[in-house]
Amino acid sequence: MKFSQLFIPTLRETPAEAEAVSHILMLRAGYVRQLAAGLYIYLPLAWRVMKRINAILKEEMDAIGAQEISMPGLHPAEIWEKTGRWTEIGDEMFRLKDRGGRDMCLGMTHEEIITWLASTEIRSYRDLPQMWYQIQTKFRDEARPKSGILRTREFIMKDSYSFDRDEKGLEESYQKHAEAYLRIFQRCGLAFYQVESDPGMMGGATAHEFMAPSPAGEDTIVICDKCGYAANVELALSIPPSQKDAGARRAVPLQEGQLEDISTPDKRTVAEVSAFLEADPSCFIKSLLLIGADGPFLALVRGDQELHEKKLQRIVGSFRPAQKDEIKDILGVEAGFIGPHNNKLKKIADISLKEGTYISGANREGFHTKGIKPGTHFDAEWHDVHVARGGDGCSRCGAVLREENVIEIGNIFKLGTKYSQPLRAVYLDENGVEKTIIMGSYGIGPARIAAAAVEQNNDKDGIIWPLGIAPFDVEIVVLAGDDKELAETAGRIYRGLQDEHFEVLMDDRNERPGVKFKDADLLGVPCQIIIGKKALKEGLVEFKIRKTKQTERIAPSDVVARVKQLYGKA
């Protein structure tokens, strides 16, 4: 296509509202424009990228036997009421009424709808398994849309759903998706990890996320380079480094094995007491009084660790922090001075506390206690309830974990019967017995793939698209648009590339060379064919790789072969 006939509104300056690299570059290079918070218009270039990503998605989904369908974006409330999510989900759901006053919503996802479909159509074990997918718009009234295309209120998603007779079937569908996802992200040229994730509100037992490392990412994962363990910090296990020596002796009382109260007036937080006593935070026990379904209990983590509420919730069910007066009523002291010893409350302690001697609140106003030995001075249920961090040990092999910020680009969930049961998606098995369909749900955000690709592949001059998803394969830069000879050479190369099914952008604009070079680098098409008078005098054109800026002078007749070589089609 001719640049002069395409709408590519590049910007010389960075719009003030953009912060993330991908957001800045996609605005500057004329890919997207913002309509409102979290709502973006995809201009021709961005839409071409999206189409390419979607084509890869379709190929790989079709390859595992999934069938493309299309479901409405507007849903009746009734179905969402049946699964309970109409009330479970709060402001994040866009809700509206139709003219008849019926409650409706804009679909945030399609488990309900597809399960309804399955419930009405699937009768027999002979109908299973099935895998259905769509590439469709989702609506979520995000509390805080951000980072351009990364977190929006309306976005396209590839979502697929598997329907199986049993767990074994689900496992197969799940693995097929995992493998397809690996191929998809590879073809899109992304660096990514597959990590264990929290099933969250989706329900079900197993879930994985596909994560593209980027500073713009909103999620954090820990990775073990030795054994391959990788998990979202929402559930990652780890072994915190052992108690630090710095000031550790201060945790030891004058008489070994005894407890010793020390005056710590007005020192309440770990940071304050740690500074006051000159002992490392890892020498303290942080005691948090929480109220669970069975009454109050103490959660204990080491002073240098953070309590992971979701992990704790999985162990004890839902809980809430105790209020100030509740703490006084139960322990007789204010929050800054509570400790695990000398009380009979149930205790859940983090595994990092198993060894060592500690200081904690004395359960006495203005005092802390030294010499507390877990197991000796208090008993507890031991669990991993701290937040895993880089530098911790791997819970599987002990090697040091690494931490990285990542963009979630895809996820896969084993749903089980979470949706099929309330919506009565059932079938009759070989023995005529009614069984509930076992489901899985699998999502990919194409816009996030695009954004992650830009985040991972750019330099000071602009975007550097991975080969598989660039808006064009080749950009021909014709340095003097009005020169006949240049135009003819460009035309020949253009047709030659098209004959080999390459997507070619030809910058035929009547612009100065500098402008064309700058725009070409900004747009990020993987390779450029530069046609200028100088080289052409010698019968040559230039072949430039966007990523390395390496330039080769080659004969016009060799261009097609050189491009084919770059794209591995030689």
Partner RNA sequence: CGGGGCGUAGCGCAGUUUGGUAGCGCGCACGGUUCGGGACCGUGAGGUCGGAGGUUCAAAUCCUCUCGCCCCGACCA
Q: Is 266 left (phi over 0), alpha (psi -120 to 50) or beta?
A: left
Binding mask 76-95 for RNA (x = CB under 7 A): ---------x---x--x---
Smallest separation (angstroms) from RNA to the CB of 164: 18
**CA angle, residues 543, 42, 516, in degrees to nearest 5:** 30
Does residue 178 belong to the site contacting RNA (CB under 7 A)?
no
**Near RNA by CB under 7 A: residue from 36, 254, 293, 570:** 36
- String marking each residue 411-430 x if it binds RNA according to CB under 7 A: x-x-----------------
From 517, 524, 529, 543, residue interacting with RNA (rule: CB under 7 A): 517
The amino acid present at 151, given as its one-letter code, is: R
Torsion, Cα of 122, 127, 129, 134 (10° steps): -60
- 355-394 footprint of RNA as x/- string (CB under 7 A): ----------------------------------------
User: Is residue 425 a contact partner of residue 122, using CB atoms and an 8 Å limit?
Assistant: yes
In whole angstroms, the minimum distance from the beta carbon of 35 to RNA comes to: 8
Between CA 510 and CA 72 the distance in angstroms is: 46
User: Which listed range, 125-133, 347-355, 379-387, 515-523, lies at the site for RNA (CB under 7 A)?
Assistant: 515-523
Q: Smaller CB distance to RNA: residue 220 or 264?
A: 220
Residues 541 and 550: beta-carbon distance below 8 Å: no
CB of 31 to RNA, least distance (A): 13
Q: Which residue has the tokens 């106003």?
A: 365
What residues pair up with 332 in beta bridges, in sequence order?
A: none
Q: Which stretch binds RNA (CB under 7 A): 55-63, 256-264, 347-355, 514-522?
A: 514-522
For residue 475, the minimal CB distance to RNA (Å) is 12
- Judged by beta carbon, residue 304 or residue 519, the one nearer RNA is 519
Q: For the beta carbon of residue 285, count every other beta carbon within 10 angstroms.
A: 28
Q: Which of 241, 247, 296, 532 binds RNA (CB under 7 A)?
A: 532
Q: Which lies closer to RNA via its Cβ, residue 154 or residue 280?
A: 154
Q: How far is the CB of 503 from RNA (least distance, A)?
A: 21
Q: In what order do the strands lie in the sheet with 74-76?
A: 74-76, 103-106, 95-97
- Least Å distance between CB 383 and RNA? 20
* Among the listed residues 2, 4, 14, 215, the single contact to RNA using CB under 7 A: 14
**Among residues 5, 7, 13, 320, which is the contact residue for RNA, using CB under 7 A?**
13
- What is the smallest separation between the CB atom of 16 and RNA, expressed in angstroms? 3
Report the alpha-carbon distance of residue 208 to residue 414 in Å, rounded.
9
Query: Which residue type occupies 440?
Result: G
Rounded-to-integer distance, Cα 105 and Cα 89, Å: 11
By C-beta, is 330 or 535 nearer to RNA? Answer: 535
* Beta carbon nearer to RNA, 106 or 273: 106
Q: Is 548 in the site for RNA (CB under 7 A)?
A: no
Tracing tokens 């080659």 back to the chain, one arrives at 554
AA letter at 516: K
Q: Counting contacts by CB under 7 A, is residue 544 touching RNA?
A: yes
The answer to whether 28 contacts RNA (rule: CB under 7 A) is yes
Does 15 participate in binding RNA (rule CB under 7 A)?
yes
**Least spacing, CB of residue 90 vs RNA, in Å:** 7
Using the Cα atoms of residue 346, residue 352, residue 354 and residue 356 in order, give the sign of their dihedral: negative
Contact 466, 189 (CB under 8 A): yes
* Distance of closest approach, residue 370 Cβ to RNA, in angstroms: 32
The torsion defined by the Cα of 474, 479, 481 and 487, in degrees rounded to 10, comes to: -60
Closest CA to 411 of 134, 125, 196: 196
Closer to RNA by Cβ: residue 265 or 514 = 514
- Which member of 521, 527, 543, 556 binds RNA (CB under 7 A)? 521
SS (H, E, C) 194-263: EEECCCHHHCCCCEEEEEEECCCCCEEEEEECCCCCEEECCCCCEECCCCCCCCHHHHCCCCCCCCEEEE
Angle, CA of 428, 430 and 431, to the nearest 5°:
85
Contact residue for RNA among 16, 254, 293, 570 (CB under 7 A): 16
Q: Name which position in 22, 52, 75, 111 contacts RNA (CB under 7 A).
A: 111
Q: How far is the CB of 240 from RNA (least distance, A)?
A: 20
Which x/- pattern, by CB under 7 A, does the window 215-234 give for RNA? ---x----------------
Site string for RNA, 148-167 (x = CB under 7 A): ---------x----------
Virtual torsion, Cα 204, 208, 214, 215, nearest 10 deg: 40
Q: How many chain residues bind RNA (CB under 7 A)?
A: 61
**Buried (b) or exposed (e) across 134-149, using 16+ Cβ within 10 A?**
bbbebbbbbeebebbb
Contacting residues toward RNA, per CB under 7 A:
10-17, 19-20, 23, 28, 34, 36-38, 85, 89, 92, 108-109, 111, 140, 142-147, 157, 200-202, 218, 411, 413, 441, 443, 461, 479-480, 512-515, 517-522, 530, 532-536, 542, 544, 549, 551
